[in-house]
Amino acid sequence: MSDIHKTIEAVWKIESTRLIAGIARVTRDIGIAEELAQDALVRALEQWPEEGIPGKPAAWLMTAAKRRAIDTLRRGRMLELKHGEIARDLEFQQQRLGEAMEHALDQVIDDDVLRLIFTACHPVLALEGRVALTLRVACGLTTAEIARAFLVPEKTLGQRIFRAKKTLSEARVPYETPRGDELHSRLESVLSVVYLIFNEGYTATAGDEWMREELCNDALRLGRILAGLLPGEPEIHGLLALMELQASRAAARRGPKGAAVLLPDQDRGLWDHAQIERGMAALHRAQQLGGGARVYALQAAIAACHARANTVADTDWERIVLLYDSLLQVSPSPIVALNRAVAVGMAPTPQYGPAAALNALDAIADEPALTNYHLLPSVRADLLLKLGRYAEAGQELRRAIAMTENRREQDLLSGKLTQIPNIQHDA
Amino acid sequence: MRFMMMVIPRGYEMAAPDALPTADAVARMMEYNKNLQKAGVLLALDGLLPPSTGARIFYADGKATVTDGPFAEGKEVIGGYWIIQVRSREEAIEWARRAPMSINEIIEVRQIHEMTDFPEDVQKAAQGFEHPANATAARHE
């Protein structure tokens, strides 16, 4: 890619969200707005290499989009426009649209961006559609980039976005920021999309490494944008805190040759402490706003316990157990219960410890969600090892190995198996 | 990737110790800062007092010699910085192009080293460093 194209791409990354948001204020349809913005980008790609980057690239793009919109209208193809007030008279329509665009061009307001994000994350869409559309309109990613990040063919991703836009249009989803009670349920959908984007980058081990790291950063960027637009919503700060705190460990999570390094084994000097500080500040904000007991904030508070500890032994495991107790109340799940049991096993207080943790595991052993979950026998094995019950630990490790298809995971478990003293490894 | 955008303001090398920006300049800068924040790219920012309040520690022969500011030889001095997280060098440059600068001012854009950029032996040498932020982190929450 030439330098000028890289620059245009960068301008697009910076401007596209507000551009699409501004146009959509007039068209009331994300799909049309996005196409008009794309047309403007195509014009830029044609003209800027010859004429140079304009002094005000955002205004240039908006003007190009406006011309394109009027042009389209002139050819009578704007019937899809959902602007109910637009009169039938073509000339009037053109003038009206021109003025509206001019106005939208002058000042893209924050609410435009918010409307854009809420609409892209509308529950009428399938989750994968929400994710793709959000990355496209709110993060300025190309279809090719999103496809690469999610390891799906570009064509599939293109169809996914096309379908999402069509669904929004057909469902006549109002282009607006929800208010009152609806805001909170819809915000949940937005936050789950953001966290899914983050996790896609954070947890998967396959795929283009750089792309995945950028996916985490895109999610963080979205989180910060939302925190700026709706500063009074504690769960946004809670999610932002959770993402910052998890991402702060990124450099320590990858060992040589890409092998995963688990939390207890990480070099804590590699954690990004400036990022930890940002995470702590966001968590503090969530708690100040009264959202300390919500799902994301609680998970962030658990991550914060790890972030504060200089060693595994330094970790405030008792506090982590209590936080898991709270988390189980607001969001009961066998996985959370399993994580709680791990913390119980680590806590040095008399009522906790490995034996208590084994009891806690027994209580969730029959959960259908855990039937084929290799971490259950794997955690059990760790606890049995601590109690010196080596033969049982070996059995659990073998069960765990049989349950996972992930090679790295298998290697990790086999490594533990060979380290068990006094048992027959081939039994 | 993270970048530092360093502001090199004209004349700052000889500015009086109590030199302050005008309300107008601050207002324009805040507008810009807000835009960085709204875009979700801003990680940190600070303004620095003039060099006349600072000092330079020279290691001409390997030994530290302290000289108080202002510095006769300093022509381009840093007045402040932003740290931003963006997708590319070009995006960092585009953000710098949007800053409200005056005639003859400079912004220098530099990428921040990530520990993962270093080869393994260098990473090893850095191991076990207990970051001061860990101690201060406890004050939150």
Task: List the domains of chain B with CATH numbers.
Answer: 2-116 (3.30.70.1060)
A101: closest CA among A173, A24, A14? A24
On the CB side of A316, CA atoms within 13 Å amount to: 13
How far apart CA A269 and CA B127 sit, in angstroms, is: 6
Contact B87 A6 (CB under 8 A): no
- What is the token pair recorded at A2? 């030439």
B84 membership: H or E segment, kind and range: strand B80-85
Whether residue A232 contacts residue A250, with contact meaning beta carbons closer than 8 Å, is answered with no
According to the model, what pLDDT value does residue B131 have? 55
How far apart CA A375 and CA A395 sit, in angstroms, is: 14
- What is the token pair recorded at A328? 């189980």
**Integer angstrom CA distances of residue B102 from B19, B48, B95, B99, B107:** 16, 17, 16, 10, 11
Chain A CA closest to residue B139 = A280
C-alpha distance from B90 to closest chain A C-alpha (Å): 5
Chain B CA closest to residue A255 = B120
Q: Is B113 on the interface with A (CB under 8 A)?
A: no
- For chain B, give the longest Cα–Cα distance: 50
Can you tell me whether residue B106 is helix, strand or coil? Answer: strand
Tell me whether residue B18 is exposed, middle or buried, using C-beta atoms within 10 angstroms of its C-beta: 0 to 12, 13 to 18, 19 or more: exposed
Contact A310 B134 (CB under 8 A): yes
Residue type, A388: G
Task: Find the CB nearest A251 among B39, B43, B114.
Answer: B114
Contact B133 A220 (CB under 8 A): no
According to the model, what pLDDT value does residue B138 have? 39
Q: Is B46 on the interface with A (CB under 8 A)?
A: no
Q: Is B68 on the interface with A (CB under 8 A)?
A: no
How far apart CA A247 and CA A253 sit, in angstroms, is: 10
What residue has token string 């932003």? B82
According to the model, what pLDDT value does residue A236 have? 97
According to the model, what pLDDT value does residue B114 have? 80
pLDDT in tens, chain A (427 residues): 678 899 999 999 999 999 999 888 888 889 889 999 999 999 999 999 999 889 888 889 988 988 888 777 666 545 555 454 444 555 666 667 777 776 766 666 788 999 999 999 999 999 999 999 999 999 999 999 899 888 889 999 999 999 999 999 899 888 888 988 899 999 999 999 999 999 988 876 555 566 678 899 999 999 999 999 999 999 999 999 999 999 999 888 877 766 678 888 898 988 999 999 999 999 999 999 999 999 999 999 999 999 999 999 999 999 999 999 999 999 999 999 999 999 999 999 899 999 999 999 999 988 888 888 888 999 999 999 999 999 999 999 999 999 887 777 788 889 889 988 865 554 4
Whether residue A358 contacts residue A380, with contact meaning beta carbons closer than 8 Å, is answered with yes
Q: What is the ipTM of this complex?
A: 0.81
Long-range residue pairs from A231-234, CB within 8 A, at least 24 positions apart, any chain: A232/A289, A233/A187, A233/A289, A233/A291, A234/A285, A234/A286, A234/A287, A234/A289, A234/A290, A234/A291, A234/A292, A234/A294, A234/A297
Polymer length of chain A: 427
Sorting pLDDT into bands at 50, 70 and 90, what band is B93? very high
According to the model, what pLDDT value does residue A207 have? 56
Contact A308 B114 (CB under 8 A): no
pLDDT tens column, B43-80: 999 999 999 999 999 999 999 999 998 887 778 899 99
According to the model, what pLDDT value does residue B127 have? 67
- What is the token pair recorded at A394? 């070996």
How far apart CA A245 and CA A202 sit, in angstroms, is: 12
In DSSP terms, B56 is beta-bridged to: B67
Average pLDDT taken over every residue of chain B? 86
According to the model, what pLDDT value does residue A202 have? 84
- What is the token pair recorded at A61? 């793009």
According to the model, what pLDDT value does residue A105 have? 61
Contact A14 B39 (CB under 8 A): yes
How far apart CA A245 and CA A303 sit, in angstroms, is: 6
User: Which residues on A lie below 8 Å from B86 (Cβ)?
Assistant: 10, 13
- What is the token pair recorded at A130? 């929400």
User: Which residues on A lie below 8 Å from B94 (Cβ)?
Assistant: 7, 10-11, 14, 57
According to the model, what pLDDT value does residue B141 have? 35
Whether residue A182 contacts residue A190, with contact meaning beta carbons closer than 8 Å, is answered with no
C-alpha distance from B87 to closest chain A C-alpha (Å): 7
**Integer angstrom CA distances of residue A421 from A416, A418, B124:** 10, 8, 31
According to the model, what pLDDT value does residue A20 have? 92
**Integer angstrom CA distances of residue A2 from A5, A142, A156, A191, A397:** 5, 17, 28, 36, 53
Look at B80 and B20; give whichever has higher pLDDT.
B80
Residue A309: which residues within 8 A CB-CB, separation 6 or more?
Answer: A268, A315, A316
According to the model, what pLDDT value does residue A94 have? 67
Q: What is the DSSP string of A337-397?
A: HHHHHHHHHH--STT-SHHHHHHHHHHHTT-GGGTT-THHHHHHHHHHHHTT-HHHHHHHH
According to the model, what pLDDT value does residue A90 have? 57
According to the model, what pLDDT value does residue A250 have? 87
Predicted TM-score (pTM) of this structure: 0.87
> Cis before residue B70, ω within 30 degrees of 0?
yes
How far apart CA A247 and CA A199 sit, in angstroms, is: 10
According to the model, what pLDDT value does residue B73 have? 77
Contact A222 B115 (CB under 8 A): no
